[in-house]
Structure 1
Amino acid sequence: MERTLMRVVMLVPALWVAQPAAAQRPPVTTPAAGTTVTALSHAFDRAAPQPLPLWAPRTVLGFDEVMHGHGRLHVTCTDDPARGRCPRSDTGEGPTGRQSILLEFHEPRSGQRRDIGVSGWMERVEWERSCSDDYWDKSEYPLWTSATRECHIAPAGTAATLQVAATDIGALVAGRWRAELHLDVRGGVGGAVLGRHVFVLEVTVTDTERAAIHLPEHGGSAAPMDLQLQLRAVPPPASVGGEAVLDMCLYDGLGSHSGQLVLVARDRGPDVPGRPRDAFSVWHHAGGRAPHERIDYRLQLLYAGTTIDLHREAHTVLTGIHSAPLRPVLLPGMDQPVHCVPTPLSFITPRVPAAEKRDGRYQGDLTIEMRLPTRRP
């Protein structure tokens, strides 16, 4: 189990794919008809994002003798913007280089949506080495153009590259993201659709370095806490006690997809023989260790509508994290929210006779440790 800590201080107050070598041309390739579906799964940690290739470099879309017209193949988006946003018809533009398709990724668990750029470009291929030394036009064309370079013999084929760069996919926060990219392959100038390519993407992102017990009101994982003790004179004898609530949220760095999390609560101070397991303590600031210089409190966690008592040093297992309610929070150092599981923590101080406690300020340390599952979801 991996661990993360929260500290509270209490204060009481189907394509042919290849990278042709120099002077090598691709085999004859007919553009795929109908719908070609490619399912891709990808996983990485945000500390080291990895690129996601859809079409490997120089994936040949079509190649044959010039008369077949595969030298003007181009790729366009469909009329569904959720499946990729780019031109839907031939733009006729020249070799302006690599451009991006905006693709919407969706994280079902949290409901988040994020547009990510899918970078792509095309290269033209000659049947003979008429205007190149290795069959390949060195220019990079946008995917959605039928344009070719000037040469006395037209190109015979088209290859494409399509990928999500590491820097772009690294913008996704932890979770299981899904997206579908639909692209039409067209032939000729302003040509008709020859076939459709559908990419079904599932991307699992982890961010375990940022796993934390987050305290939203304090912007981190440490906070001062006032036990909100109140003196009550009626009914006599006068008593002291109270209740305070700390806004707390558990972020597992896995998009809240963990099956369970384990919490361990402990306070710091001298041993107290006979102290109940559910009791935590604050001590008089003067340093005394007598019973009248100690105030005990209990901890209760509200998780998914259920109240759970925390005991000292005990392993409290929270199951069903993957289906618990979520809330968005902004963690330190991040520019977009993540979703954590709200677990407000109550500090309950049972009433005791005021005469039994020494006047003054009490303080103590409470640490709550969160242990992550070793096995990733």
Structure 2
Amino acid sequence: MNSTANHWCDEGFYSKGKALTLWITDDEIAKLPIGGIWQANLKLLQAIEDIVSGEFRNVASWSADITLNLHDINNITIWFPQFKTSTPRVDLQLHTLPTPATPGGTMSGKALLDMCLYDGFNANSSSYQVTLSDGQNISGRDSQDFSVFRDGLPDAARRKRVDYRIQLSYNGQLHTLENNQTLTLSGINQAMIRPVKLPKIPQAVMCVPTPLTFITPTFNQMDKESGSYSGQVRMVFTPSL
């Protein structure tokens, strides 16, 4: 309370008022363990002393709801629960299917990667933006294709690369991602969520499940050079807080 003012009320009663200023210091905010929406209720009671009994009795009350939106931007995380890290290694799970009409047989694959997105706001954001890219610009390649390359050396030749696609599941819907194109996920604060324990946060937080499926379409094994193939996918996650 930092000021006073005296005035006459319309009813003819003389009153004294005080302005109330409230704030939260940085030290107190730092005590909140996680980002999210924090709520409190402030109640003030006015009491006067009975001149006969000397006892105080309440004559008025006032209350205010307080909402604090805390954004923990330093802990926004793309989390892969089965790996306990943000940099997993994925096997495309390629399998050979012998076929009489195709020398060497055909190959295809499907791999699942559990992923959960934490926005630093305990899943209270309005939307997320997700962009995946393999960092390659290959002429003639479909916009939905990602690639691994022979011995990890990028080469546009079809014989030296294997193309695959990535699907993202969000709130019961599948989205086929386009390479280096942004996908917007809406309605985050009403989506399915799950608790996870992240390394730098002292208690469990809510994240949004967005598992990925890596799908390698069928190709003839003899059409590719033999050897090991590898590549990278970079993901950019931007919540709208």
Aligned to 2:120: 253
Q: Determine if contact 1:328/1:338 at 8 Å carries over to the other structure.
A: yes
Deviation at 1:167, TM superposition (A): 3.6
Please list every run of 5 or more consecutive structure 2 residues that lacks an aligned counterpart in the other structure. Answer: 5-14
Deviation at 1:194, TM superposition (A): 2.6
Q: Determine if contact 2:79/2:86 at 8 Å carries over to the other structure.
A: yes
Output aligned runs, 1:148-167, within 5 Å: 166-167=27-28
Output aligned runs, 1:176-191, within 5 Å: 176-180=37-41
2:68 partner letter: V
1:281 partner letter: S
What CA distance in whole angstroms lies between the structure 1 residues aligned with 2:108 and 2:75? Answer: 36
Larger Rg: 1
2:80 to 171, 196, 215: 215
Q: 1:310 to 1:235 in 2, by over 3 A?
A: farther
Aligned to 2:168: 301
Identity %: 31
Output aligned runs, 1:192-231, within 5 Å: 194=58, 198-231=63-96
Aligned to 2:150: 284
What CA distance in whole angstroms lies between the structure 2 residues aligned with 1:230 and 1:203? Answer: 52
Q: Determine if contact 1:184/1:193 at 8 Å carries over to the other structure.
A: no
Aligned to 2:9: none
Instruction: State TM-score, norm by structure 2.
Output: 0.78
Deviation at 1:304, TM superposition (A): 0.8
2:221 partner letter: A
User: What is the aligned residue count?
Assistant: 222
Output aligned runs, 1:266-345, within 5 Å: 266-269=133-136, 271-285=137-151, 287=153, 289=155, 290-345=157-212
What CA distance in whole angstroms lies between the structure 2 residues aligned with 1:18 and 1:231? Answer: 78
Q: 1:168 to 1:277 in 2, by over 3 A?
A: closer
Q: Secondary structure at the residue paired with 2:134?
A: strand
Asked if 1:358 is matched to 2:225, the reply is yes
What CA distance in whole angstroms lies between the structure 2 residues aligned with 1:231 and 1:298? Answer: 18
What CA distance in whole angstroms lies between the structure 2 residues aligned with 1:322 and 1:184? Answer: 36
1:333 partner letter: K
1:221 partner letter: S
Q: Determine if contact 2:77/2:118 at 8 Å carries over to the other structure.
A: yes
Deviation at 1:288, TM superposition (A): 7.3
What CA distance in whole angstroms lies between the structure 1 residues aligned with 2:101 and 2:200? Answer: 52
Q: Please give the root-mean-square deviation of Cα atoms over the aligned residues, in Å.
A: 3.3
Q: Determine if contact 2:36/2:70 at 8 Å carries over to the other structure.
A: yes
Q: 1:192 to 1:216 in 2, by over 3 A?
A: farther
What CA distance in whole angstroms lies between the structure 2 residues aligned with 1:236 and 1:180? Answer: 74
Deviation at 1:309, TM superposition (A): 0.9
2:196 partner letter: V
Q: Secondary structure at the residue paired with 1:299?
A: strand
Deviation at 1:185, TM superposition (A): 7.6
Aligned to 2:216: 349
Instruction: State TM-score, norm by structure 1.
Output: 0.51
Deviation at 1:314, TM superposition (A): 1.1
Output aligned runs, 1:116-135, within 5 Å: none
Q: 1:294 to 1:362 in 2, by over 3 A?
A: same
1:282 partner letter: V
Q: Determine if contact 1:331/1:337 at 8 Å carries over to the other structure.
A: yes
1:261-307 CA distance string (max 9 Å, x none): 211111034x4321100000001117473312211000100011111
1:194 partner letter: N
